[in-house]
Structure formats: C-alpha cells, structure tokens
Amino acid sequence: MSTLIQNGTVVNADGQRRADVLIEGETIVQVGPDLSPDRHTVVDATGLLVMPGGVDVHTHLDMPFGGTVSADDYRTGTMAAAVGGTTTVIDFVLQSMGHTMGEALETWLAKSAGKACIDYGLHMAVTDLGPGDGAQGLAEMETMVKKGISSFKLFMAYPNVLMIDDGLMFKVMHKAGQMNALCCVHAENGSVIDIVVARMIAEGKTAPHYHAHSRSADAEAEATHRAIAIAHMANAAVYIVHLSNEHSLRELKHAQARGLQALAETCPQYLVLSLEEHMPGKSWDEAKYVFTPPLREKRNQAPLWKALEDGTLAVVSTDHCPFRFADQKSLGKDDFRKIPNGGPGIENRLQILWQFGVTEGKLTPEKFVELCSTAPARIFGMPQKGVIAAGKDADVLLWDPNAEYTISAATQVMATDYSMFEGWKVSGNARHVFSRGEWVVKDGKFIGPIGHGRFLEREANAGGFA
C-alpha cells in the first residue's frame, strides 16, 4: 500500500518547504513537489504542517508506585500519545532491589505485549548491581545494550526504594561510558529531602502543597551538579531528566560551557504551571499537581523557555505518570507522602508547546520539531525517527496550526479523571497521524490497530556525543 500526502508544508528541524510526502509500506520513499497521485491513496494536507511524529522519551506506563499502579497501561497510554501527535515513546523499566535487570525487562515486555499502539523503546532503571563488586550487574548492562536498551536511569531520590548512592552511580556511569550508553538521572538530593519531609510531618504539615515545599530547587540543583560531576569522572554522557528550575539550569549551563557531555530535558508542566497559581495551599485538589520534581515559582518559567530556544535544554518530554484523583491520589488524603507522584500529560505535550511556545512567539515551528521529535530521536539512538525524509520510518504528523481545541478530562484518551490543563483553550492540534505508514489517527480520533507498536532496539551513541 502507498499513501501520498499532498499540498502540505513539510517542517523539519532544519527548515520547512512546500512538498508532498510519498509513503510505501512502513517507509517514506520520496519527499518533493508535485508528486504524481497515480495509484496512491491521497491525503490532502492543504493548510496543514507535515512533521515527523513526536518522540516522548520519558513515560511511565503501567508503573507500580506507592501501593498503586499508574492509570495508563500500554494500550491507553500509547493511544493517547498518538492522538496527541506522538508516534514513539521510551518507557522506564524499574529494576527492583534484590532482582536482576533481566527479570525487570521480562516484566515490562509482558506489560507491553500486544498493547502498544505506537513504537516504543525502554530505559533500564538500575537500583542493584548484585553482590560483591557488582560484576553481575555490570555484565547485565552489557546484555541490555545488546538488546537495544542503550540508556540507563539512575535515581538520586526515593531512599530505600529507587535511590542509589554515589558509588553505585559511578560504577554504572563508568560502565555506560565504556559502551557509549547514556545515563539518565533523576537529580534530587533524596537524603536531605527525607529529613525535611520528616520534619514537616512532625509539625503536622500534611497537605499536598507541602510536598512541593519539601523538595527545594536547591536540592535539585545540588544533585544536578553532582550527577554531572560524577559522569565527568566516569567519562560518561549524562542526561538530566525533568529539569524544573533556574538553579539547576545554571549548573547545566556551567557544565556545558566547560565542554562536558551533559544534556537535559524539561517538561510542559514546568513551563506553564506554577507553585503560586496551582499549589497555594488552599485545597485538596492541589494533589493533582503532586509530582517530582514539584512545581516551582513562576519566575523559573522564562529561563526555561529561553534555554529551550538557545539549545541549553535539548528536549521536551512529559514524565507522563498518571494517577486517578478519586481513588489513587486519595491514598495520601491525610499525608502528602502517600500521594502517588505523577501527572498525566502524554496527550497534551505538543498542544501545550505549540500554544505557549510557537503561537506566543517563543519558538519557531522548526525548533518545535527539534525539541519534540528530532533531538530526542538523535540523542536516544533512533536514526529512523524524527525526520521527514526518504528512507525514514513513515511516522508522520499532520498538524493543524489553526485548530481550536479545549483540553478537558471529559474528552481525553488518557485514563485519568482529571487534566492538569483542564479548560485551557489552545490553537494547534494533531489532525492525522501515521505510525510506520499505518493511519492511526484520523481527524483527531484514534483508528489504528491495538498492538501495532513495535519494541525499538536503539543504538548506543552516548546521547549523540559519540
């Protein structure tokens, strides 16, 4: 089967032009003006932007946390991603302490089997290298890379559950550096935060907004500095996930100015939501915004936008980790420590970044593509993704820059009972989406087959530094 997308404006990270796009099977075979419509299914893209499908490199689907499991599994989560214009996700495998990476991988592959609606890759979160000097775990890291899992997650927060110490972090980073694998780091000083949290609880400060006040920007900035320093000592590339504030950004800029192999992402919530506006300490509803790192003061937003524009921040992902408000967030009704950390956003990433980035003049359409598709594909070793060009996977997004849309939990595909952006009106939305040539979203509605998505074996390229 072949599909010809006609009359659209092709937008890549390096420029835009009027061109048609011919898809045969799963691949883009030609991009150029006035291609012949003979023998092809023709899709009219008049007035639309033809972009590479979005790549979201930070999701948590079907993930256990705090006595419950994230609300979106691989079916609803990837379906929502597609409706939002994303055609590739990278999810996190969580190795449990005392268990092997291989066991964790089997669990996550079982979660995704027959459910993923778009292509997906996996990061491996390392919590345990095994007994003795960790030789067993380090050997497993080699196995993971051979299986196409070319990035490893390290948590500097959540003591006794996911957090590792600096010595283990150095060992993992050193091994990753030898293999050109990338280390993704959740950078918060978990040991200090735990003490602050305990003091707050002892003082009766249990409401949701105290979660945010217990996890300071300084705790994130210190850990960002330490993660980058240890990576440098280990001769490894490091990628800071969900960077949220100007203090951490300053540490990143300093490292990059010195030529260190340091990259970072931010997320839509940190660009448009604020502590003052959404967590003033007035109601239980603020539990909807309990995620980690927490919301920051509004003054942090402008520096983050500037860092996206100038390239200091390389990627916008979601950290999509959704929990229902009624029966999951409520687990922490009387103790913010028990509120499952995370928010829903996989469906809204492109809408938010287009409205508040492109429409408001902070980003060009090309930069939008770079941040949401091209850079994440390049950094995480997926050369077939992120570009509209001959020979690439036919992951194609037809974006309507003039579409008016109101974000609401009542109409979203994500399996949560609330939206972090409830009632927000945005201009710009996904009209049609193709995943490896399969038409999966038509006129904003999911029409694709469940289980279409494939596991991606990614290249080890040290975040693009190799």
Structure confidence by residue, pLDDT tens digits, 22-38: 999 999 999 999 999 98
User: Is 238:265 a contact under the CB 8 Å cutoff?
Assistant: no
Domain boundary among 384, 406, 438: 384
Q: Per the domain annotation, does 457 fall within a domain? A: no
Q: Pairing mode, if any, of strands 15-24 and 27-32?
A: antiparallel
Q: Per the domain annotation, does 454 fall within a domain? A: no
Q: Give percent of the chain with pLDDT exceeding 90.
A: 98
Q: Pairing mode, if any, of strands 54-59 and 27-32?
A: unpaired
Residues 119-135: tens digit of each pLDDT: 999 999 999 999 999 99
The count of other CB atoms within 10 Å of the CB of residue 444 is 16
The answer to pTM > 0.85 is yes
Of 34-43, 235-244, 246-255, the one with minimum mean pLDDT is 34-43
Residues 333-343: tens digit of each pLDDT: 999 999 999 99
Q: Is the pLDDT of residue 66 over 90?
A: no
Query: What angle, rounded to 10 degrees, do the helices at 166-179 and 217-233 form?
Result: 50
Q: For the chain, what percentages of helix, strand and coil (3-state, to nearest 5) are there?
A: 35, 25, 40
Question: In the sheet that 237-240 helps form, which strands lie side by side, from edge to edge?
Answer: 54-59, 86-94, 119-125, 151-155, 182-186, 237-240, 262-266, 315-316
Co-location of 255 and 157 in the same domain: yes
Residue 329 per-residue DSSP state? G
Q: Is the pLDDT of residue 220 over 90?
A: yes
Q: What is the DSSP string of 167-205?
A: HHHHHHHHHHHHHT-EEEEE---HHHHHHHHHHHHHTT-
Co-location of 316 and 187 in the same domain: yes
Domain that holds residue 17: 2-51+386-416+425-446
Read off the amino acid at residue 439: W
Output the six-digit token pair for 7.
């009359």
CATH number, domain with residue 133 = 3.20.20.140
pLDDT number for residue 157: 97
Residue 150 per-residue DSSP state? -
342: left (phi over 0), alpha (psi -120 to 50) or beta: left
Residues 77-116: tens digit of each pLDDT: 999 999 999 999 999 999 999 999 999 999 999 999 999 9
Co-location of 296 and 437 in the same domain: no
Q: How many CA atoms lie within 13 A of 329 on its CB side?
A: 24
Q: Is the pLDDT of residue 1 over 90?
A: no
Helix and strand element counts for the chain (H, E): 14, 19
pLDDT number for residue 318: 98
Q: Give percent of the chain with pLDDT exceeding 70.
A: 100
Co-location of 254 and 323 in the same domain: yes
Q: Per the domain annotation, does 32 fall within a domain? A: yes
pLDDT band at 269 (very low <50, low <70, confident <90, very high): very high
What total of structural domains would you count in the chain? 2
pLDDT band at 325 (very low <50, low <70, confident <90, very high): very high
Residue among 358, 295, 351, 345 nearest 318 (CA)? 345
Co-location of 148 and 226 in the same domain: yes
Co-location of 108 and 189 in the same domain: yes
Q: What is the DSSP string of 18-60?
A: EEEEEEETTEEEEEETT---TTSEEEE-TT-EEEEPEEEEEE-
Co-location of 404 and 343 in the same domain: no
Local structure of 15: helix, strand or coil: strand
Residues 358-401: tens digit of each pLDDT: 999 999 999 999 999 999 999 999 999 999 999 999 999 999 99
Co-location of 208 and 89 in the same domain: yes
Overall average pLDDT of the 263-279 stretch: 98
Q: Which helix (H) or strand (E) holds 257?
A: helix 246-257
Q: Per the domain annotation, does 437 fall within a domain? A: yes
Q: Per the domain annotation, does 452 fall within a domain? A: no
Q: Per the domain annotation, does 394 fall within a domain? A: yes
Co-location of 95 and 234 in the same domain: yes
Overall average pLDDT of the 259-276 stretch: 98
Q: Is the pLDDT of residue 466 over 90?
A: no
Q: Would the CA dihedral through 342, 344, 349, 353 be positive or negative?
A: negative
Overall average pLDDT of the 342-362 stretch: 98
